[in-house]
Structure formats: C-alpha cells, structure tokens
Structure 1
Amino acid sequence: MSDGVRLNKRVAEDVPCSRSEAEAYILGGWVSVDGVVVEEPGARVGHDRRIALLPGATAMPIAPVTIVVHKPAGVEVSAALIDPAQQEGKQRFLKHHLHKLELVAPLEKSASGLVVFTQDYRVLRKFREDAPEQEIIVEVAGTISEGGLQQLNQGMKVSWQNETRLRFATKIATPGLIDRLCRDVGLRVLAQKRIRIGRLPMSSLPPARWRYLTPVERF
C-alpha cells in the first residue's frame, strides 16, 4: 500500500462521510481493504482496492481503556506484554488501545503479578492522587531480626502467612522497596507476587495473559 491515496480519504469518498468520521471508522477497526481490516488512517490504498465498512460500524469516539496484565517473573514491564494472542475476554482489541497507554502500577522485573496500563485520565488521577493499596505475597529466606516484623509494619501492614511467606499491604510499592525493607531485618527475598491492587484481585488471570478492565470494576 505504498502508492494510491490515504485510506481515510477513500473511506470519506466511498461512504460518503467527513474525513474525521472516516478516521473514526478506521481507528475503530470497522474498515476492511480487500477483506482485511486496516486500522491506519494514513495507509495508502489504490483506486482498484475494495473498501468496505463492517457490520455494526460506528463513527463514535473510541472510549479510553484500562488493561490488566498478569506479568510473569523475569519479564520487563512494557506494552509488549499486551499481545492480542494472549487476551482473555471478548472485547474487541484495537491497535488504538495501545496509543498513549501509560503504566500506572510499576513492578520490578523479578516480580510477578498484576500490572496496570491505562488511557483513562480518571484512572491516572486515582493512582497519582490517592494510590490504591496493593497486596503483595513475598517468599523469603533467613531469620528475621528481633523486632523485625514491627519494623516492617511501619507505614504498611505486614504479616506472616507461613514460615517463609509474608503478606505486604501497602500504598507504597516502588520497585526495590520490599527487597530493601526485608534485607534490613535479615531476610532475603526469593519471590514477589502482586495479587491485588485496590479492589481489583488478580483472580484467575493466568500468567502472561491480559484483559480489559470492565466498566463495573474499580480500583
């Protein structure tokens, strides 16, 4: 598609509609070129190509999305985790959903668990102004120092789950913090898994899979 005219121009002429409506159709995944959906308004198409709108096509603006990922341990946090082949649920994936997507809950490479990306300014504001509590399960080795649990409980809630597992509940979980806090009380972190952010549990989301936040879910 290196020659020809821009797809949004062809759609505007063929439907017919305004150029902005044509772009909305394309970004919304409603336009096919010779039977293949194309989501780039600037794609070049020849005059002999067949342009069609899919059933149910709408030029309504695309609502911002929030995406929840179960990050495996040892994997860097990036939008590359959002592979369409790894999606859970039935909401239509659009390339536009990756546009201006921001990470709002960082997680260090060695840890696993919930990671959140969003386009929604309301979610961004929530995390920036009143970050939700995070629940993190931490596997540790070593012997905790005397008074170590009380020390860990300064500014967060920490409790033993069993002899080698701690539960952290905190609004402050910057990468590296839990490792440092545990090291200060004689413990070595073996693994971390974030299982909840605010009111959102990881639930049954499998490792390396992702899904869209539903309209009824809140942090």
Structure 2
Amino acid sequence: MSETVPSRQAQKERTREAILAAALGLSHDHGFAQLSLRQVTRAAGVVPTAFYRHFDSMDEVGLALVEQSFTTLRGMIRDAQRNPDIVDNLIDASADVLVAAVKANREHFAFVARERLGGSATVRAAIQHELELFISELALFLARIPQLARWSGEDVKMVSGLFVRNMVYRAEQVVETPVGRPDLEEEIKRKARREMRMVVLGFKAWRSDA
C-alpha cells in the first residue's frame, strides 16, 4: 500500500506534465487560443476524461504554462541576488544571463512572446500580471544599488519597468534567432547593454522630486 500511493501520485504528475508539454509544443505551430482539448489529449497520449482530472478548461492549461514560463524569470532574479558578480557588473551580467536563460527555455519564452499580445484574453492577462510581479521583484533588487538609495519607491519601480520591457523585447529577439548563430546573439547582447547603460547614465542626474 505504501508503494502504491506514491506510484499513483507520480503517474498523476506525469500525466499533468504530458498535457502541459503537448499544449506547449502544439501552441508553437497553431497558437494556444486555437488549440482544442482533443488535440492536446491526443498529442499527450491520454483520454479526454484524464484531462479533467487535472484541468477544468484549456484556459487553466494556459495559466499553468504562464506560471511555468515565469518560474524561470523569478529564478533569474533570485540567482542575481545571491551572485556578487551580477550585482557588481549588473549590465554586462544581465545581458549574458538573459540570453542564456532564453536559450535554455526557448519554448517557454516563445510561448510568452506569442501569447502576451494575442490569443486568449485569460492568458494575456496572466502574462501581464506576471510581468508586473517581475517588475516589482526586480525593483527590490535595484533598490540595493547605492545610486538609487534616495529614489522614491515609485521611481525605482519605474526604472525596473524600463529594464523589464527591454529584457522582454530582447528575449523575443533571441527566440527568433536561428540556432547556431552566436554572432546574432552577441549583437543582441551588445544592443541590450548599450540601452541599459543609457538608462544607468541617468541615475546620477535623476531626482525623485523632479
């Protein structure tokens, strides 16, 4: 009996992951909003009744994929907070980390890039919510930078938003970059660094009461 319960739980988790993986893969060609439950269950190798043991609707699948995708971004921030090299070399390190993270999780970043402006309204709203959370988390990290010590919380969050919007744009470019083109990846990093430096140059001159 003690072996059966963990085995059933493991099988249940495998089924859930198979459904999510199938939806993620199919969304690449068709767009998530165009997918049907039957398409996903067929690709996952499960019957439709098994789907409803894990999700109430396709929108719930989309929300789970959004959560999976942003787990990577949240991990990037937490790793940065523990890494003194990133804190000391924020601009260069951020560009390197971003490109590496997108390459390692290309399908999830591609999903966010496709769905954040089109498709399911539920999924779009979830992506926007996650981006706002990401901006808030990054703002907590940026507040540790000495040049921002006297800034208001609103202004720190504003500059965090500038960084995040730049990262999203550059991440979408990495997604579209053909595999095996490090020259194009380096050009994306170069542009991202220049843009971030332009923002940072304004740190000293900015006053929150301006």
Q: Which has the higher helix share?
A: 2
What TM-score do you get using the length of structure 2 for normalisation? 0.26
**Bigger radius of gyration:** 1
Q: Which has the higher strand share?
A: 1
